[in-house]
């Protein structure tokens, strides 16, 4: 008799228990805690790939095992992860997106976008990327842009299409959400100020190399690979997802009619626009006021609550936000334990043992690939940067990789690594929660896109750093 998914999941848990918790000594020089955390994470990856259980169920079991086998110092540390700043940024962004639905501003923007770019499904995709691109230089957080700008506009575009066929609607939703998500990550590579980890990485690199990159010089070096990737990704995603092309003339006409029907901006829409402008201002200059991206979203949510643009009941009903809190928090805790216990350090040590006869080009390619695909073990680009950037940069420099090329490659590749999974960064879960892209498909798409982006960046950065460096 064929095993059900539930039985396979139970069998995987049993294997996890036998390997991780009955083994008397941890292998590979790991601590017992590090080994057990690694086994739990490996089983989570396997279960996710096979789709054996909902991700919320998997994550709650992960949290249970962490507590049961005392992988944290105490219960306070076990539950403190539910207060993660990066997760709450995404949750508050969900609440702000309610305002775009309640006021109709989301539909107004999406109808305008369709009217301007609605020549095809693909051209609407480019329009979504343009929305992110316009604000990218001013908002130094891909999570903030993805959650606060891309997500509400993307969901409004999908709703505005009014596609009745379920499968066609799913494909359209999948296409637009994946374009918006991957476009959001890619714009972070184009501008020095588009992602906080960009200047952080340059600052960390100063301990090893003398590099001083201005905003303009960064843009010149990154323009060719980043813009090519931004132009190519919507086309590739269309081939992978195969959304049905809608009747563009009718869609554009309908969008114009609906815009006319909506009339002038309502007071609630103007409040939302003013709040949104305040968010962009604070995201751009928040450091000068001591306000971070999550607090900015909290301020905006509070304004919308006080002005009745959104209601408290709306927040309670926002199921996807609370779902992300439940399933993503345990994964953040698990990756934190693995990092603290030196699991990732062991992988880095293996990389440092490469034979000395290897050319710098080979090392450049191998280390870059390892750097990107190790993000399967991370739920945060900041943690990835803190753990891997300097060790991997040291490896590259010791084998003769040009310093500017090494620094920019590791810095910019970090921005695109979250696109491979549904937990790679805060907005990964945000777009996955829409339900248009099944988990297996999202991982497959993420891997294919990562290969294309690696070819572009690893192929072109050696040229552009030479030309403009």
In a domain, 415, yes or no: no
In a domain, 53, yes or no: no
Cβ neighbors of 317 (< 8 A, separation 6 or more) are: none
Cβ neighbors of 240 (< 8 A, separation 6 or more) are: 445, 448
The dihedrals phi and psi of 107, each to the nearest 5 degrees, come to -70, -40
pLDDT band at 240 (very low <50, low <70, confident <90, very high): very high
Distance of CA 301 to the CA centre of its chain: 22
| 309/101 Cα distance (integer angstroms) | 10
| Exposure on the CB side of residue 376, measured as CA atoms within 13 A | 18
- For the residues 191-202, what does the mean pLDDT come to? 81
Please indicate whether residue 90 or residue 365 has the higher confidence score (pLDDT).
365
In a domain, 463, yes or no: no
Asked if residue 384 lies in contact with residue 196, where contact means CB atoms within 8 angstroms, the answer is no
pLDDT band at 460 (very low <50, low <70, confident <90, very high): very high
- Total of domains in the chain: 1
For position 1, what pLDDT does the model report?
41
Quote the tokens at residue 121.
């499904």
- For the residues 175-195, what does the mean pLDDT come to? 91
Lowest mean pLDDT among 13-22, 59-68, 73-82, 298-307: 13-22
For position 315, what pLDDT does the model report?
92
For position 133, what pLDDT does the model report?
85
Tell me what the pLDDT averaged over the chain comes to: 83
Asked if residue 31 lies in contact with residue 341, where contact means CB atoms within 8 angstroms, the answer is yes
Helix (H, G, I), strand (E, B) or coil at 139: coil
For position 354, what pLDDT does the model report?
58
Lowest mean pLDDT among 7-11, 216-220, 303-307, 409-413: 7-11
For position 442, what pLDDT does the model report?
93
| 258/400 Cα distance (integer angstroms) | 60
Lowest mean pLDDT among 30-34, 384-388, 408-412: 384-388
- For the residues 214-232, what does the mean pLDDT come to? 92
- For the residues 199-209, what does the mean pLDDT come to? 77
Q: Evaluate if residue 118 carries a pLDDT over 70.
A: yes
In a domain, 223, yes or no: yes
Quote the tokens at residue 339.
């990092």
Q: What percent of the chain has pLDDT over 70?
A: 91
453 CB neighbour count, 10 Å cutoff: 28
For position 356, what pLDDT does the model report?
56
Helix (H, G, I), strand (E, B) or coil at 406: helix
For position 352, what pLDDT does the model report?
62
Q: What is the pTM of this model?
A: 0.72
Q: What percent of the chain has pLDDT over 90?
A: 28
CA distances from 22 to 19, 26, 36, 65, 441 (A): 6, 10, 10, 14, 35
Domain span at 183: 85-319
Helix (H, G, I), strand (E, B) or coil at 216: helix
In a domain, 389, yes or no: no
In a domain, 307, yes or no: yes
Q: Evaluate if residue 228 carries a pLDDT over 60.
A: yes
pLDDT digits (tens, 9 = 90+) for 54-99: 778 888 888 988 888 888 888 788 888 888 776 787 788 778 878 8
Among the listed residues 211, 212, 48, 195, the one whose alpha carbon sits nearest the alpha carbon of residue 135 = 195
Q: Evaluate if residue 250 carries a pLDDT over 90.
A: no
For position 174, what pLDDT does the model report?
94
Residue 89, exposed/middle/buried by CB under 10 A (0-12, 13-18, 19+)? Answer: buried
For position 446, what pLDDT does the model report?
95
Kind and range of the H or E element at 391?
Answer: helix 381-398
In a domain, 126, yes or no: yes
For position 54, what pLDDT does the model report?
77
In a domain, 245, yes or no: yes
Q: Evaluate if residue 402 carries a pLDDT over 60.
A: yes
């Amino acid at each position: 008799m064929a095993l059900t998914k539930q039985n396979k999941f139970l069998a995987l848990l049993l294997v996890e228990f036998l390997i991780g918790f009955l083994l008397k000594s941890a292998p590979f020089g790991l601590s017992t805690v590090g080994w057990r955390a690694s086994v739990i994470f490996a089983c989570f990856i396997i279960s996710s790939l096979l789709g054996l259980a909902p991700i919320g169920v998997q994550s709650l079991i992960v949290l249970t095992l962490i507590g049961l086998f005392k992988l944290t110092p105490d219960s306070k540390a076990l539950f403190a992860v539910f207060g993660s700043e990066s997760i709450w940024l995404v949750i508050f962004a969900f609440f702000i997106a309610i305002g775009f639905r309640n006021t109709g501003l989301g539909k107004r923007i999406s109808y305008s976008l369709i009217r301007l770019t609605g020549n095809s499904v693909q051209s609407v995709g480019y329009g979504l990327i343009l929305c992110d691109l316009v604000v990218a230089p001013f908002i130094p957080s891909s999570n903030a842009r993805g959650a606060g700008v891309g997500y509400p506009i993307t969901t409004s575009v999908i709703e505005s299409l009014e596609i009745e066929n379920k499968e066609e609607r799913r494909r359209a939703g999948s296409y637009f959400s994946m374009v918006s998500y991957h476009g959001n990550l890619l714009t972070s590579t184009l501008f020095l100020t588009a992602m906080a980890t960009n200047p952080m990485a340059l600052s960390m690199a100063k301990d090893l190399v003398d590099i001083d990159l201005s905003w303009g010089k960064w843009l010149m070096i990154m323009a060719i690979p980043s813009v090519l990737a931004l132009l190519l990704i919507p086309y590739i995603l269309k081939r992978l997802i195969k959304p049905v092309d809608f009747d563009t003339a009718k869609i554009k006409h309908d969008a114009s009619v609906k815009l006319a029907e909506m009339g002038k901006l309502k007071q609630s829409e103007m409040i939302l626009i003013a709040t949104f402008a305040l968010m962009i201002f604070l995201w751009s200059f928040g450091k000068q006021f001591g306000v971070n991206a999550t607090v900015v979203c909290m301020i905006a949510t509070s304004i919308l609550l006080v002005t009745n643009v959104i209601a408290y009941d709306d927040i309670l009903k926002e199921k996807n936000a609370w779902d992300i809190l439940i399933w993503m928090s345990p994964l953040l805790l698990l990756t934190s334990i693995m990092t603290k216990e030196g699991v990732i350090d062991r992988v880095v040590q293996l990389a440092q043992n490469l034979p000395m006869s290897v050319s710098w080009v080979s090392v450049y390619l191998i280390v870059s690939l390892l750097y990107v695909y190790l993000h399967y073990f991370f739920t945060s680009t900041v943690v990835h940067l803190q753990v891997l950037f300097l060790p991997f940069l040291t490896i590259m420099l010791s084998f003769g990789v040009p310093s500017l090329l090494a620094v920019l490659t590791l810095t910019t590749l970090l921005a695109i690594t979250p696109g491979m999974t549904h937990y790679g960064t805060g907005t990964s879960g945000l777009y996955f929660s829409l339900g248009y892209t099944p988990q297996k498909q999202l991982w497959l798409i993420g891997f294919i896109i990562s290969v294309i982006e690696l070819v572009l960046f690893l192929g072109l950065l050696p040229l552009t750093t030479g030309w403009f460096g």
